[in-house]
Structure 1
Amino acid sequence: MQTLRLTVDPHDLASEASRSSLSRAAEILRSGGAVALPTETVYGLGADALNAAAIAKIFAAKERPSWDPLIVHISDTRMLQQVVSSIPESAQKLIDAFWPGPLTLLLPKGSAIPDAITAGRPRVGVRMPQHPVARALIREAGVPIAAPSANRFGRTSPTTAEHVAEDLEGRIDAILDSGETTHGLESTVIDACEEPCVIYRPGVISIEQIHAAGVDACIFREAPEKHAAEPASLPSPGVGLRHYAPRAKLILIDGSGEAQVAALREALQRALQKGVRPGVMLPDTFETTANESGAIIYHWGKWSDAEELAQRLFAGLRSLDKAGATVIVCPLPVSAGIGVAMRDRLMKAARKG
């Protein structure tokens, strides 16, 4: 299969080039094809959410197991009626506070949604993206779009069209290129049918923001042994224990201040003594740690700017993989705000399969 490359300027959707690309991508989706598209979180691999044969192409291209459910993307609240059967009060509060935006709600599944999307479960993940190109494409296609991240299953999520091509070139119909994504981390996933609501995947929208919107919520915890065997189905997208992983072995450094800097330096030295050239996700305040170590350095950003670190996280892991690192050493951000989501992704990426 030849993968078509299309370009849309997110700042000029009305240009002839942008309109042509959106029209072609929408045509592919309506005809049952698979198109990688930008969202404000990461690039997604989209297909018509009402077409079971099209959904099967997502699973085949990603090599994604059938037990891992997908998220459905909509362009407006009218389209939501095609996807869900009801909207609980807590869900409406979250919709009012955060849509369009990086929040996925688990809601009662509508009858038009194929069981493959929900892995046979009665609730479907749905969100309204904020990215102008994603919204324009869904409107142009005229159908809700199922779209997990546009990468091979278990790999690092893509934040550019080039990342998508690295994993899926020749496996999907088209890639819609609109530059880098804004947030660089996937959406928060919350089950709005439970009381309190359950956050299955921490993301860009923090638990503090959810509480501030007047919704009680707690974060889902599951024992690692629950996934020792292949599950029948997962309760939500994004809860697989081994996920977001680079090819290189990932070594995480927890702590704070000088103790964390010293631990990172020691980890780099141990790797070098074993004869491998490590990569390092290096924040600005850690600069002297690795400058003379011989490590492959990815300049991650300001340690004090969690949003910048989040936006560059997956790009950094992919960059170090591409540069040939066989071990990646990475400090863990503080567990607050979007740092909770970064720690979630890093700990899942570092877990042995």
Structure 2
Amino acid sequence: MDLFEKELEAGHAVVLPTETVYGLFAKALDEAAVDQVYALKQRPREKAMNLNVSSEEDIRFYSKNQPPYLSKLIATFLPGPLTIILEANEEVPAWINSGMATVGFRMPAHPKTLELIRKAGPLIGPSANLSGKASGTQCQQILKELGHGVIGLEDDSFLTGQDSTILDLSGDKVKILRQGAITREDILTKIPAIPFEEV
């Protein structure tokens, strides 16, 4: 077990790179660890957290009423800069999604981060910055800003600085809640059957 896995297993938050920006990761099923991330980020409790997972099986385990194109969407774009929102099931604790009916899923493409998610996950991993500030792309600056002995894995090689696209699959029509690296056209080119909301 390496240092970062030990920190996660001990209930601590760590800064890890994704393919977009740095994230502040902690064990999602550990309420105290999640509380620590909210406190470090000074994030309002009503703002839900995503589940960072390592497989389609994980996504299905924590969601319900999945659309028929979900498997193809995951196979085509994940791991990668895409957040998928689905209806949450009873496996999702209220401290993750703030008691909402939905939950978001991320599968970051950075190999070390994905390995840690596979070993210690599911993890929460919001962007590593104080709430309301720009998403973090400089590891040392992030660690200085967060303080409290948080450790980080510095690797800028994957970072684009562009946030993930957020795709809401919880309704009859698919909505893009945040445009990121993956566009509507990218998705429709690969999966034409996805029923996007009219724009």
1:38-67, Cα deviation, whole Å (9 max, x unpaired): 100110001111111211111000000011
Moved over 4 A (4+): none
Q: Between Structure 1 and Structure 2, whose CA radius of gyration is higher?
A: 1
Q: 1:11 matched to which residue of 2?
A: none
What is the percent sequence identity of the aligned residues? 35
Confirm whether residue 145 of structure 1 aligns to residue 126 of structure 2: no
Return the letter of the residue paired with 2:171. E
1:133-191, Cα deviation, whole Å (9 max, x unpaired): 211111232x2111100000000111131231242122x53212223443211111111
Q: Indicate the structure with greater helix content.
A: 1
Runs (5+) with no aligned partner, structure 1: 1-19, 221-353
Q: 2:39 matched to which residue of 1?
A: 60
- TM-score of the superposition, structure 2-length normalised? 0.90
Structure 1 distance, partners of 2:141, 2:61, is: 32
Q: 1:129 matched to which residue of 2?
A: 108
User: Superposition pairs for residues 44-193 of structure 1, below 5 Å?
Assistant: 44-141=23-120, 143-170=121-148, 173-193=150-170
Change (3 A) 1:216 1:86: closer
Return the letter of the residue paired with 2:155. S
The alignment's C-alpha RMSD in Å is 2.0
- TM-score of the superposition, structure 1-length normalised? 0.52
1:257-293, Cα deviation, whole Å (9 max, x unpaired): xxxxxxxxxxxxxxxxxxxxxxxxxxxxxxxxxxxxx
Change (3 A) 1:219 1:25: farther
TM-superposed CA distance for 1:108, in Å, is 1.8
Structure 2 distance, partners of 1:166, 1:59, is: 17
1:182-226, Cα deviation, whole Å (9 max, x unpaired): 321111111112232011111111111122222232489xxxxxx
Confirm whether residue 33 of structure 1 aligns to residue 24 of structure 2: no
Runs (5+) with no aligned partner, structure 2: none
Matched residue SS, 2:12: coil
Greater RCO (Cα-Cα under 8 Å, separation 6 or more): 2
User: Superposition pairs for residues 1-353 of structure 1, below 5 Å?
Assistant: 23-141=2-120, 143-170=121-148, 173-212=150-189, 213-214=191-192, 215-218=194-197
Report the count of equivalent residues.
197
TM-superposed CA distance for 1:75, in Å, is 1.6
Alpha carbons 1:38, 1:178 under 8 Å: kept: yes
Alpha carbons 1:91, 1:105 under 8 Å: kept: no
TM-superposed CA distance for 1:80, in Å, is 2.6
1:98-155, Cα deviation, whole Å (9 max, x unpaired): 11111111012132322122122111100211111211111232x2111100000000
Structure 2 distance, partners of 1:156, 1:144, is: 25
Return the letter of the residue paired with 2:109. Q
Matched residue SS, 2:153: strand
TM-superposed CA distance for 1:86, in Å, is 4.5
Alpha carbons 1:88, 1:192 under 8 Å: kept: yes
Change (3 A) 1:64 1:49: same
TM-superposed CA distance for 1:96, in Å, is 2.4
Matched residue SS, 1:102: strand
Q: 1:242 matched to which residue of 2?
A: none
